[in-house]
Amino acid sequence: LRTRADFEAMDAKDPLRCRRDRFALPDGLVYLDGNSLGALPKATAAVLQEVVQQEWGRDLITSWNRHGWIDLPRRVGAAIARLIGAGPDEVVVTDSISINLFKLACAALRLRPGRRVVLSERGGFPTDLYMIQGLSELMDGRVELRLVAADELEAALDADVALLMLNHVDYRSGRLLDMGRLTRAAHEAGALVLFDLAHSAGALPVELRAHDVDLAVGCGYKYLNGGPGAPAFLFVAARLQEAMRQPLSGWFGHAAPFAFEEAYRPAAGVARFLSGTPPILSLRALEAGLETFDGVDPGALREKSMRLTQLFIELIEERCAGFGLDVASPRDPKRRGSHVAVRHAEGHAVSKALIARGVIGDFRAPDLMRFGFAPLYNRYVDVFDSVEAMHAILSTNAWKDAVFQHRESVT
């Protein structure tokens, strides 16, 4: 049987071991929720202090030019581009995933006149589906959201489909889709493809250009460590940018925002997908979050992530057998993102009992506990300690305590 010392030995040999020092993680806490909110980088507080006191406080509005605030959506976009296999001029940081999806879906539909369907997977992240539902209402039903099971996607790609919209990694199970295959299938059917990278950007190497992906969105607050409410990003392949028009045509996406012309003219390139004034404090925090990736080999990141999740699955099954747990993530690490979902009938109470013992994961209704392994800062001992905590809670029925039965508004 494996002991804690075995896991300590793996940490000692981990080439990414020192990265954890870049994060301000509380002692004694096992943080397995970087797939929901990334940990705080140590550098972020100083960056924010500087922006607030020097740039905002002292230099005030002159900072838009003097400190390059105006360039931040592009600059931070270029930093994200490196993590997702995109060119520096193909990514911009702005708004939320929800808003970006709306903009990109509208633009995609306009590029495919005569086609009215947005095809997606049943059970995909709700906001993605809600945004297309809203668009369909706005268009009086001239846009249709078609939902099918994951293994029926290719068969459902008919001549009505304008856009195939997919979650690269499923937010519940952690299943990783084959980006290359699905992109080829969409293109063969004459459709565009959009990937939501919320659970893959920063967790595994994403190759948008190599796979010829058209569009993508992702968020800044999970594996990119940008902080709560960090702005999202969007990607538009360079070959499509000039032909695309988005509906939220605000002044920051205008060709000459400070000419104050009456008529909208889209900016050149990806900047046309901006709408309003960017959130400077949040952009600077996201930029600091992205610096935690500097010099990291994406292959090493993926290797460690696959090992962490694999060990967690093996140990859960070994140590917690007979307690009603069921691993709901793919067994093959190549088909999995960086989190593991574990089903338990009382998953919500168990998840709260874990948090009370210092193991932070999260819960997705009706019965899934999720454990995210951020390879930049999670350790092999985190696998051991979290499974030991799980064993302690299940073997003593500690989760039955009344304090763990109450549902919080955020799970």
Ligand X SMILES: Cc1ncc(COP(=O)(O)O)c(C=O)c1O
Shorter beta-carbon distance to ligand X: residue 194 or 315: 194
C-alpha 169: how far from chain center:
9
Is 125 a catalytic site residue? yes
Residue in 31, 102, 221, 252 annotated catalytic = 221
Rounded Cα gap, residues 409 and 411, in angstroms: 6
Residue in 102, 125, 223, 371 annotated catalytic = 125
Residue in 196, 214, 362, 382 annotated catalytic = 196
Question: 31 in the Ramachandran plot: left (φ > 0), alpha (ψ -120 to 50) or beta?
Answer: beta
Residue in 22, 222, 284, 304 annotated catalytic = 222
Is 221 a catalytic site residue? yes
One DSSP character per residue, 94-159 reads -S-HHHHHHHHHHHHHHHSTT--EEEEETT--HHHHHHHHHHHHHTTTSSEEEEE-GGGTTTT--T
Report the alpha-carbon angle 23-48-45, nearest 5.
30
Residue in 22, 115, 352, 370 annotated catalytic = 370
Query: How many other C-beta atoms are found inside a 10 Å radius of the C-beta of residue 268?
Result: 11
Shorter beta-carbon distance to ligand X: residue 94 or 292: 94
Is 222 a catalytic site residue? yes
Shorter beta-carbon distance to ligand X: residue 192 or 194: 194
Shorter beta-carbon distance to ligand X: residue 36 or 63: 36
Report how far apart, in Å, the C-alpha atoms of 204 and of each of 188, 189, 194, 337, 392 are.
27, 28, 18, 7, 32
Phi, psi for residue 339 in degrees, rounded to 5: -125, 160
Rounded Cα gap, residues 339 and 166, in angstroms: 18
Is 335 a catalytic site residue? no
Residues that bind ligand X (CB under 6 A): 96-98, 125, 127-128, 167, 171, 196, 198-199, 219, 232
Compute the least distance from the CB of residue 319 to ligand X, in Å: 29
Report how far apart, in Å, the C-alpha atoms of 36 and of each of 198, 284, 338, 410 are.
9, 20, 12, 11
Compute the least distance from the CB of residue 214 to ligand X, in Å: 18
User: Is residue 94 within 8 Å of 232, Cβ to Cβ?
Assistant: yes
Shorter beta-carbon distance to ligand X: residue 224 or 320: 224
Compute the least distance from the CB of residue 306 to ligand X, in Å: 20
Report how far apart, in Å, the C-alpha atoms of 398 and of each of 226, 228, 293, 349, 404 are.
35, 31, 39, 9, 9
Shorter beta-carbon distance to ligand X: residue 201 or 280: 201
Catalytic positions, please? 125, 196, 221-222, 370
